[in-house]
Structures are given as C-alpha cells and as structure tokens.
Amino acid sequence: MPTEQTKSRDIADHATHGVEIANCFGRPLLPNRGTPLNLDWVRDVRINTSAIERRAQSHAMRRTVKKDWQAAWLLRAITCMDLTTLSGDDTDERVRRLCAKGRHPIQSELEQKLGIESLQIKVAAICVYHVFVETALRALEGSGIHVAAVSTGFPAGLSPLAERVAEIRRSVEAGAHEIDVVITRAYVFAGHWQALYDEVAAFKQACGRAHIKVILGTGDLLTLRNVGRASVVAMMAGADFIKTSTGKEPTNATLPVGLVMARAIREYAQQTGMAVGFKPAGGIRTAKQSIEWFSMIKEELGDSWLRAEMFRFGASGLLGDIERQLEHHATGRYSADYRHPLA
C-alpha cells in the first residue's frame, strides 16, 4: 500500500510534469505572428453540428480522472486560471483581495495535507478592467502572476475603433501583460472577413509585446460555422489566444464550441507551423467541468497545450469548487463554500 508521503509526492509529480514548447506532428511550433488573410481557407470551413454535439456529449460521459491524478489535474487547472473580477461594483480593495487569493489560492493547511507546499501553486493571471491595472500590478509585484486587462469596449465591443485601440494602448502603458479584446460580431454575421481581420490586426499592433487574447463572443455568433470561421480569421490576424466568451453572454463556453475552436487551432498549427492558445471563459464553475475541458484539450491538441502559456480558464467561481474537491481528496470530507472565499 502506498504511504501518505508517497501519495503526496505522486500528486506533486503529476501536477508539475513538464511539457516542452508546443509541438505538433513531430515539429516545434512558433508563436503566432499571423498570416495574410486567406479567404478561400475561411470559406472552406465546414462544421457538422450534429457530429460535434455528439462528440462533445460522449466525451463528457466517458472521460474520468480519479484519485491522485484528479488532484493533480485540479492543481494544474489552478495554474491555468485567469482569476477574474469584471463587475460594475469592483473596487481597489476587492482587486487587492483577489490578487491575494491568486498568490495563495489554496489554504496553507490544505497544502500541508496534500504535501504540495514546495510547488508554490498560484494562478496564471488576474483579469480586471483597465482602471484597476495599476492596483493589480502593485498587489502582484514579485509573484510572477500576469495582469490581464479587458479592453476594446468590453463586453459589447461597439465603441469607435480609434477609442478601442487607444484603450489597449493605455492598458499596455499602465503595465498590463495581456489584453483581452472583443471583436465586432456584426462582421461575422455579414461575412466581412477583411474588416474583421483588419480590426484584430490593429488590436495586435496596439498590444505591442503584450499578449492578445481575442474574444469571439461565441454565444452571440449563433452557429458553430461562424465560430470556426471567426477563429481562423482571428488567428490569421495574429491572435496569441482565441477565447470563447466575455462571460456576459446568455450562453458562454460550451464543449461543442470548444471542440470547434480547438480543431481550428490544430489545423492552423498544421498549415502554418504556429501555435495559438485557447481560453474557455464563462459558465465554468465546477472542478468536474475543468477536467472535462482539460481532457478535451489533451485529446484534440496534446499535452503541450496543458499549461498556462497555451491554455487558460476564465473563471471566478471555479477556484472555490476546486478547493473543496482537493479538501475532500485530502480528508474525505467536503467543506462548506464559505470556507473558500475569493475576495
């Protein structure tokens, strides 16, 4: 029988098992620099909606991860998390508390029970409105956690282009490491792919060295084919990540949408030799859902995407449930929600 010390070491090993730089089909992939717009590629995007939905449903039903492996995947999920507060009543103090949670997402007592103190688990980024970028930077100083700012008239993305570009530049000048931008969904409905490409390319240029995560607003795009085509155009325009949702739409991240976007990323890597990250956001609230997303990405894109550089969860409520599941793994008991506050 394995000892508790051995089990703790196994959890730590699984949670930190390294992956090399993203690679696909036996060759290393480069960061995405973008490509010229290829309208033939965009028009050729075809989606079998019923097949995608069946695949997503069967995936969720037949994929399970148990015991130490489950705990390790949940720890990895924390390290891939963009801990987010995007409410109208946000304050500097709330952002500081969220940053403190991001630096120490797991209670010290629970870390000791799991034997993972040396891992120094922390989230990947804190995502806030522009006005709180400097507050977050000060609160996260020395932690290595990135600050992500939502921009471009989030969440609707309907302000004039010059204003949206200026908003990006202000956040970059303030020190944001990552910028989450919103596309104009009307371009997708009308098939104005050149306009969409030019918009994202302008956002990319304004970001400079900051990473750009392009929010498609998949809940607004109506069809999976629209999602696939918008994904391809965003990647051609230079997106470092493509992201499902703002979290404000009636329908946010779903596994069928995730399958379409992951396969678009895979095809783009095959065709161009460049890697694009993926971020599902909105509606992911349970530890079980995080494992479903992880296992889907593992199957569709491979182990190289199972790290913060290539995959993120946009989440606010997810961390609390992961903590509860980890405590159950360590003690056999579920704790109350109020014992795991975010901010």
Residue whose pair of structure tokens reads 């204003």 in the numeric block = 163
Measured CA to CA in angstroms, residue 283 lies from 55, 127, 128, 145, 286 at distances of 20, 16, 18, 23, 9
Structure tokens, 171: 């956040």
**CA dihedral sign, ordered 228, 233, 239, 244:** negative
Exposure class string for 224-243: b at 16+ Cβ within 10 A, else e: bbbbbbbbbbbbbbbbbbbb
Rounded to an integer, what distance in angstroms lies between the CA atom of residue 331 and that of residue 335?
10
Structure tokens, 44: 């050729």
Rounded to an integer, what distance in angstroms lies between the CA atom of residue 26 and that of residue 74?
28
157 contact partners, CB below 8 Å, separation of at least 6: 164, 181, 182, 183, 184, 185, 215, 217
Residue whose pair of structure tokens reads 């309208």 in the numeric block = 39
Please, what is the Cα angle at 250 between 247 and 256, to 5 degrees? 80
Rounded to an integer, what distance in angstroms lies between the CA atom of residue 61 and that of residue 308?
26
DSSP 8-state secondary structure symbol assigned to residue 129: E
Measured CA to CA in angstroms, residue 256 lies from 48, 75, 224, 229, 325 at distances of 11, 25, 8, 15, 26
Q: Which residues are catalytic?
A: 180, 243, 279
| Type of residue numbered 89 | D
